[in-house]
Amino acid sequence: MKKYLITSREFYTDTPAVFRKKLHVQLQKHLPDFALYRDKTNPNYKTQAEHFVEVCSQFMDVKSFIHRDYQLARDLNADGVHLTSLDVEDIQKAKALGLEVIVSTHTYSEVQNAAIKGADYVTYSPIFSTPNKGEPKGIEDLEKLLRQSDIKIFALGGITNEEQVQKIEKTSAFGFASIRYFY
């Protein structure tokens, strides 16, 4: 099962030297397959994204993704872009730049739409209880979706411990994505 580390300003900070060190430690500790730079409020987003891609490049098996900005992802030689469910019209633009595409989804129809439009992967959330993210969908709902869909799905939302990861491992999910699990 693939692991997808998602950064957050709350844990990684927006101070470049601290960010780089914390990211390196977490990548080394957890050895994720995918990593996403996501900091919606950083006024120095591009600079921090450069640091992110550079640190990820030190780990041969980590694919680096940039949140929403497919042109920046291409300019920085990231592996891909992670789009929101509202950005599905940008999937083909990102693919034309040679990027892999992950789309955030919260409903079966969003998963289907992302797949039809050509996304490589989706995150589906929230699986477990997550602050400010609504009612958790649960493992049974995830399993039902997995039976109906061919796209690679990362379970996301409220994944903070090994017990939850083991529950996801018992499904056919492609992997899991988390912020707090990777602290």
- Ranking 13-22, 70-79, 85-94, 156-165 by mean pLDDT, the lowest is 13-22
| Domains of the chain by residue range | 2-182
pTM: 0.96
Q: Mean pLDDT in the chain? A: 96
Query: What is the residue-wise DSSP string for 14-51?
Result: S-HHHHHHHHHHHHHHH--SEEEE--TT-TTHHHHHHH
Q: What are phi and psi of 63, to 5 degrees?
A: -90, 130
Tokens coding 29: 């500790």
Tokens coding 145: 């979706």
Q: Which CATH number fits domain 2-182: 3.30.450.20, 3.30.565.10, 3.20.20.70, 1.10.510.10?
A: 3.20.20.70
Answer for the pair 159, 168: CB distance below 8 angstroms, yes or no.
yes
Give the Cα separation of 172 and 154 in Å (integer).
Answer: 10
Quick one: CA torsion of 87, 93, 95, 101, rounded to 10 degrees?
-20
Is residue 133's pLDDT more than 90?
no
